[in-house]
């Protein structure tokens, strides 16, 4: 019994292509006739399809393993899965005389398998998770003599297989194994290795090594060192008829593996940009030395392989990116759900806000928290850092701040409690600059506390001036036992109060100039008459125009509070 190869893949529809290529590789290795190869391919594909649909019926697909052996005059392909075992009582015998509608319901695959194979053997595991195997055995019918050496047409077809794989979406490891299998069988060598260039370390590393199909532990070489390293450095193919006579040959691997290297053919894998991305090395041509034709063929196939490998890498990156994007989308909607559902509306008041994460998620947030009749909590905060860590910290901060507000603690105590909770709850040393204000909708009084947040801008309608409003306190989450001042002010009709994060004021333009508070101040003075939301959007627009083509670096959040009129009881004493 001779081992021919194995393939381990996820039991997914899109891997059927890979499985077909694997069977083709085996077929070529055994010089199977077209007909025998067709039968084998169909039976294996049907068996694999059954595993995909029936052994792993849900979305959660497990693995399947295909192993190929030559046993006497037969080729034997065993498919192993770890899913639901086939229940023989549920298999309807396929009735070749049934009407068409009945027939297409199922059992067609099994019928093919049994009709096309010379023997079929099934073992089932005692339960789910145990291996189930299906052994397919087919008499080796070889292609007519003279066809064992590859004709130019076959060479072309081998090339096409490699380039076809190139367009299919498969895992890099599977692809490398497939390519190597193809190269070893096409050129009739005993073994092969694919080395990939690790640019950062100036090294080559063996990604796959076929020793009767079995991968062996990782090998690393310096570029320029040994035969593979030499080829990687020069980009030239190297055909060595007697390895032990070549000073570049390192016999260490032979000593370790007990393998005796005779001849070596080593070709660079050069991508279309003429960069060497790796090296493919074949050992011991089975009938004599590697020929000039082998050199030509390997050069061409190595170039195809370079493209395939780059595509697979790109594809993997893309998949990872897609997964990440999907997670970020989810994170974005979770995070957005922490923000107030809608902007509050109260007679005599007008509110506006925007929240612009620079990535899908942000460390900024704002909050409107109803404190009871006639009172509203207003929060803006900017968490240190960006992206997911900031977003997680934001979730914690929102929760502790809301908790404090729900107890109706005064704003300074809300910050104090949040500070203590955050310091005791998290060890990641993140912090948030925070402004918390309690607004009396009747009197216009705002009681507030500020933990290191940018000063708010307060437009006084009567004077047409702008004040910078802040209170003593450091960012929340830094110092245990930190104190915060409580301050108060009173908004008059026509006044506008703007809270913002530094994503607004620290935006840079092409000349590396900051947007700054003054520009914001002027905008507010100029547009104070606009409705609150329109003013917020006007500011956002101005910031974007200012940044121009410059990339924005920080999340930007802004809240506008505008007292529009004499609301009921405006002269009432402060609450």
Partner 1 sequence: MNISEREQNGIIIFTLDGRVDSEGAVDLDLALQTAVSEGKHKLVLEMAQVRYINSAGLRTLADILTQVRASQGDLKLVNLHPRVQRVFQIIGFDRFFSTYPTVEEAVASFS
Residue 534 CB, shortest distance to partner 1, in Å, is: 49
Q: Are 186 and 305 in contact (CB under 8 A)?
A: no
Q: Which is nearer to partner 1, 39 or 190 (CB)?
A: 39
Report DSSP letters for 103-135, one per residue: HTTS-HHHHHHHHH-SEEEEE--SSTTS-EEEE
Q: Are 384 and 430 in contact (CB under 8 A)?
A: yes
Residue 210 CB, shortest distance to partner 1, in Å, is: 27
Residue 98 CB, shortest distance to partner 1, in Å, is: 8
Q: Which is nearer to partner 1, 45 or 310 (CB)?
A: 45
Residue 88 CB, shortest distance to partner 1, in Å, is: 19
Residue 433 CB, shortest distance to partner 1, in Å, is: 55
Structure tokens given for 440: 């009396």
**Which residues are near partner 1 by CB under 8 A?**
13, 16-17, 20, 34-35, 38, 41-42, 45-46, 49, 96-97, 100-101, 103-104, 108-109, 111-112, 115-116
Q: Which is nearer to partner 1, 106 or 455 (CB)?
A: 106
Task: Give, in order, the Cα–Cα distances in Å from 446 to each of 264, 435, 441, 502, 573.
Answer: 83, 12, 9, 22, 13
Coil, helix or strand at residue 368: strand
Q: Which is nearer to partner 1, 112 or 403 (CB)?
A: 112
Coil, helix or strand at residue 8: strand
Residue 456 CB, shortest distance to partner 1, in Å, is: 59
Residue 173 CB, shortest distance to partner 1, in Å, is: 22
Residue 3 CB, shortest distance to partner 1, in Å, is: 27
Q: Which is nearer to partner 1, 34 or 483 (CB)?
A: 34
What distance in Å separates the CA atoms of residue 295 and residue 501, rounded to the nearest whole number? Answer: 64
Q: Which is nearer to partner 1, 112 or 205 (CB)?
A: 112
What distance in Å separates the CA atoms of residue 503 and residue 555, rounded to the nearest whole number? Answer: 5
Residue 25 CB, shortest distance to partner 1, in Å, is: 16
What distance in Å separates the CA atoms of residue 334 and residue 344, rounded to the nearest whole number? Answer: 21
Residue 117 CB, shortest distance to partner 1, in Å, is: 12
Report DSSP letters for 58-103, one per residue: SS---EEEEEEEEETTEEEEEEEE-SPPP-GGGPPPP-TTS-HHHH
Structure tokens given for 489: 């002010």
Which helix (H) or strand (E) element contains residue 503?
helix 502-505
Q: Which is nearer to partner 1, 100 or 549 (CB)?
A: 100
Q: Are 110 and 51 in contact (CB under 8 A)?
A: no
> Measuring CA to CA, which residue among 350, 575, 562 is closest to residue 457?
562
Q: Which is nearer to partner 1, 111 or 313 (CB)?
A: 111
Q: Are 182 and 25 in contact (CB under 8 A)?
A: yes
Q: Which is nearer to partner 1, 111 or 402 (CB)?
A: 111
Half-sphere exposure of 281 (CA within 13 A, CB side): 29
What distance in Å separates the CA atoms of residue 206 and residue 184, rounded to the nearest whole number? Answer: 16
Burial letters 50-87, b for 16+ CB under 10 A, else e: bbbebbbeeeebbbbbbbbbbeeebbbbbbbbbbbbbe
Largest CA distance in the chain: 107
Q: Which is nearer to partner 1, 175 or 378 (CB)?
A: 175
> Measuring CA to CA, which residue among 559, 557, 506, 555 is closest to residue 357?
555
Give the N- to C-terminal CA distance of the chain in Å, as an integer.
92
Residue 44 CB, shortest distance to partner 1, in Å, is: 10
Q: Which is nearer to partner 1, 49 or 133 (CB)?
A: 49
Q: Which is nearer to partner 1, 49 or 525 (CB)?
A: 49
Residue 49 CB, shortest distance to partner 1, in Å, is: 6
What distance in Å separates the CA atoms of residue 550 and residue 527, rounded to the nearest whole number? Answer: 25
What distance in Å separates the CA atoms of residue 382 and residue 364, rounded to the nearest whole number? Answer: 4
Q: Are 338 and 393 in contact (CB under 8 A)?
A: no
Q: Which is nearer to partner 1, 44 or 430 (CB)?
A: 44
Residue 102 CB, shortest distance to partner 1, in Å, is: 10
What distance in Å separates the CA atoms of residue 395 and residue 223, rounded to the nearest whole number? Answer: 49
Residue 38 CB, shortest distance to partner 1, in Å, is: 5
Q: Which is nearer to partner 1, 169 or 239 (CB)?
A: 169
């Amino acid at each position: 019994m001779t081992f021919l190869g194995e393939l381990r893949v996820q039991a997914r529809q899109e891997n059927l292509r890979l499985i077909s290529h694997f069977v083709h590789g085996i077929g070529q290795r055994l010089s199977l006739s077209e007909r025998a190869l067709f039968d084998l391919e169909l039976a294996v594909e049907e068996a694999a399809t059954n595993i995909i649909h029936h052994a792993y019926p849900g979305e959660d697909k497990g693995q399947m393993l295909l192993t190929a052996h030559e046993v006497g005059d037969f080729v034997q392909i065993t498919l192993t899965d770890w899913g639901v075992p086939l229940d023989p009582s549920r298999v309807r015998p396929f009735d070749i005389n049934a009407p068409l509608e009945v027939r297409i319901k199922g059992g067609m695959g099994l019928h093919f398998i049994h009709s096309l194979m010379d023997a079929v053997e099934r073992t089932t595991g005692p339960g789910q998770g145990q291996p189930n195997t299906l052994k397919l055995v087919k008499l080796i019918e070889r292609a007519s003599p003279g066809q064992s050496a590859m004709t130019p047409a076959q060479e072309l077809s081998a090339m096409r297989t490699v380039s076809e794989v190139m367009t299919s979406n498969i895992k890099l490891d599977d692809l490398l194994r497939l390519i190597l299998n193809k190269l070893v069988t096409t050129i009739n060598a005993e073994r092969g290795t694919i080395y990939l260039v690790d640019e950062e370390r100036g090294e080559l590393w063996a990604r796959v090594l076929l020793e009767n199909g079995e991968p062996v532990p990782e090998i690393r070489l310096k570029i320029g060192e040994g035969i593979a390293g030499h080829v990687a450095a020069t980009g030239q193919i190297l055909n060595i008829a007697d390895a032990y006579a070549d000073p570049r040959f390192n016999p260490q691997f032979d000593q370790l593996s007990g393998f005796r290297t005779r001849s070596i053919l080593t070709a660079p894998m050069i991508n279309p940009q003429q960069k060497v991305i790796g090296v493919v090395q074949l050992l011991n041509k089975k009938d004599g030395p590697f020929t000039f034709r082998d050199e030509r063929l390997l050069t061409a196939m190595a170039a195809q392989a370079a493209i395939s490998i780059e595509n697979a890498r790109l594809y993997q990156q893309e998949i990872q990116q897609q997964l990440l994007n999907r997670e970020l989308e989810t994170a974005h909607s979770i995070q957005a759900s922490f923000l107030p559902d809608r902007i509050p509306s109260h007679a005599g008041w007008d509110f506006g806000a925007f929240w612009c994460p620079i990535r899908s998620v942000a460390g900024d947030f704002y909050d409107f928290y109803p404190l009871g009749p006639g009172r509203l909590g207003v929060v803006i905060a900017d968490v240190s850092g960006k992206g997911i860590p900031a977003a997680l910290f934001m979730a914690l901060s929102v929760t502790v701040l809301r908790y404090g507000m729900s107890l109706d603690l005064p704003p300074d105590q809300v910050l104090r409690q949040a500070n203590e909770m955050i310091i005791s709850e998290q060890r990641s040393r993140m912090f948030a600059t925070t402004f918390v204000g309690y607004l009396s909708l009747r009197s216009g009084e705002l009681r507030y506390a500020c933990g290191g947040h940018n000063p708010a801008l307060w437009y006084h309608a009567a004077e047409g001036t702008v004040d910078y409003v802040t209170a003593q306190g450091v960012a929340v989450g830094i110092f245990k036992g930190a104190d915060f001042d409580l301050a108060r002010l009173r908004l008059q009709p026509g006044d506008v109060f703007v809270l913002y994060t530094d994503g607004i004021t620290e935006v840079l333009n092409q000349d590396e100039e900051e947007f700054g508070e003054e520009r914001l101040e002027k905008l507010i003075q100029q547009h104070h008459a606009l409705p609150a939301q329109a003013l917020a959007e006007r500011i956002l627009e101005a910031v974007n125009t200012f940044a121009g083509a410059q990339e924005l670096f920080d999340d930007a959040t802004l809240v506008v509070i505008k007292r529009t009129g004499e609301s009921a009881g405006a002269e009432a004493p402060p609450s």
